[in-house]
Structure 1
């Protein structure tokens, strides 16, 4: 009973938080501003929205293709369509239960390719670590170039960014201590856990034994270039954001990326984060949040469509 309650809280708490942010986002506008928000969304230039969507599709295809370079060293050679459909299925799951998509993605590929889940999941962890380094690099470079605006925002919201860093360091230290306890324990449960972790690390170490590291790096830059690119091209869909430079796009991109980790797929919070970021560059909140809603809505819709199709197509393509 207790486990069911905890699972329910983990599933629905982020969704409830997202609903709250939707309410908060709309409640802080006057009726005039709400009308302007709706008009901005209604009058968006669809050509740029479609270009942004196509770039999103290309980023997913590139990510699915990049995955094969991590799988090769652990002797897994999946069909490309299985990699892509498992990826989209994972993205869809993340909209419901945060971080569940990585597990479902690894389990789906392992099931259809008749491989060990630990190996596929280990490569996904490696992939996420690489992507985290890319995000941190973007955050670092943007923070250096736009430090005045970012720290001014933190100050206005009474946020201490150093506290967040301290929390991350503490969690890393706890993980190290936990791994040492598991490694040295003789208990049967910890021994099984140790074996599972070793299999994960075998998958994670695949990044060092890749034969085509250059191709992996090229696709990594392509993926993140497309992420920023689909954000950049969408600025041309709104008259008020067309003159924004790359510095504003990068700041908004970072704000949006962190918003995605707080609620299920950024629901509710993503448009607020984009609105705040653009507001620091002189864009009205109504336009900034309209941009956020269009970006979030189109990319989330893409995941729902492709992820939903994956449920239907995967069993048909793997009937044997």
Structure 2
């Protein structure tokens, strides 16, 4: 995947922002303090968290396979979607959000699948993940209502948000209407144009990929794997918490709040959620009577272990991808 100058600048800027936030958070924590925390860490629980995370990655790959099989004429192996997924995660550590396109590109190269349909299935996946995250936020709100409300009031000025939305809403609606008219005019007037045909065909494949959810044969497996993916996030964090003396006494409710805040932090357009994940996780742990340093150290350990896992497995996946590509005989059975 080629990166343009504009994209390169965006990558550098996002990385600078991520590193800046990370430095600001950890500038007052000494290396000795961090070393002591690592020395007290239970490697048994850390290994358990990594194992749970890998199970979650495999479930996500299997769920993606179900969507692909429903939208494509040929079947794809779960192992292929797993390696593509891990390469995508690896790409996200370099270029934010590039992993979604990268993993589709991997399967296009190894299995000859349509890029449009693959992107469509990824959009479905991300939509389901958004739904699951909203469910987790709602669950956190029900369980920890008072804490959730106090945090929301602390972070957000609701009156200002309401006024801002009312002022920009007409502009947004007008802009959407104008853009829709321009697109309609271009596609109608230049429908025989080669580029327009390519865009239209890609759009059709994209639409088919997005509709793949209704054609999934194993609906039960699809939805259970979606739940399983988020359970893996939860138990990954819980295992690390049990392995650190300062967080071992955290309740199940507290871990849910940590997962919700960490998930929100991971949505920021920075490489691997660096900085934003740490800030939000540390922030919520302070609400559970941990010190600021203890919260930051927990965030660093959970995030660092996951990043190292992604790098290790992602590089392995990259090697397997190059080997398959070199053979030039895609396996689609």
TM-score scaled to structure 1, two decimals?
0.88
Counterpart Cα distance in 1 of 2:178 and 2:220 = 35
* Cα deviations by residue, 1:161-180 (Å, 9 ceiling, x for unpaired): 9849959x969966687456
Q: CA deviation at 1:42?
A: 3.1
Counterpart Cα distance in 1 of 2:160 and 2:140 = 17
- Cross-structure match for 2:183: 182
**Any gaps of 5 or more consecutive residues in structure 1?**
none
Query: How many residues are matched?
Result: 314
Which of 306, 311, 323 lines up with 1:299 in the alignment? 306
Describe the shift of the 1:281–1:64 C-alpha distance in structure 2 as closer, same or farther (beyond 3 A): same
Counterpart Cα distance in 2 of 1:242 and 1:109 = 41
Matched, 1:47 2:44: yes
Counterpart Cα distance in 2 of 1:147 and 1:163 = 21
Q: CA deviation at 1:153?
A: 2.6
Q: CA deviation at 1:46?
A: 1.0
Q: Within 5 Å, give how 1:80-119 maps onto structure 2.
A: 80-119=78-117
Say which SS state the counterpart of residue 290 (structure 2) adopts.
Answer: coil
Contact 2:29 2:293 in 1 (8 A): no
Say which SS state the counterpart of residue 67 (structure 2) adopts.
Answer: helix
Counterpart Cα distance in 1 of 2:179 and 2:124 = 20
- Cross-structure match for 1:129: 127
Counterpart Cα distance in 2 of 1:48 and 1:105 = 30
Note the aligned Cα RMSD (angstroms).
2.8
Matched, 1:20 2:26: no
Q: CA deviation at 1:128?
A: 0.9
Q: Within 5 Å, give how 1:152-191 maps onto structure 2.
A: 152-157=150-155, 160=158, 163=161, 178=179, 181-183=182-184, 185=186, 186=188, 187=190, 188=193
Segment drifting more, 66-75 vs 143-152 = 143-152
Counterpart Cα distance in 2 of 1:204 and 1:247 = 34
Counterpart Cα distance in 2 of 1:175 and 1:313 = 44
Describe the shift of the 1:150–1:159 C-alpha distance in structure 2 as closer, same or farther (beyond 3 A): farther
Counterpart Cα distance in 2 of 1:241 and 1:69 = 38
**Any gaps of 5 or more consecutive residues in structure 2?**
none
Matched, 1:239 2:245: yes
* Cα deviations by residue, 1:218-276 (Å, 9 ceiling, x for unpaired): 11111111111111121111122122112211111111111112221111232222111
Contact 1:183 1:194 in 2 (8 A): no
- Cross-structure match for 2:136: 138
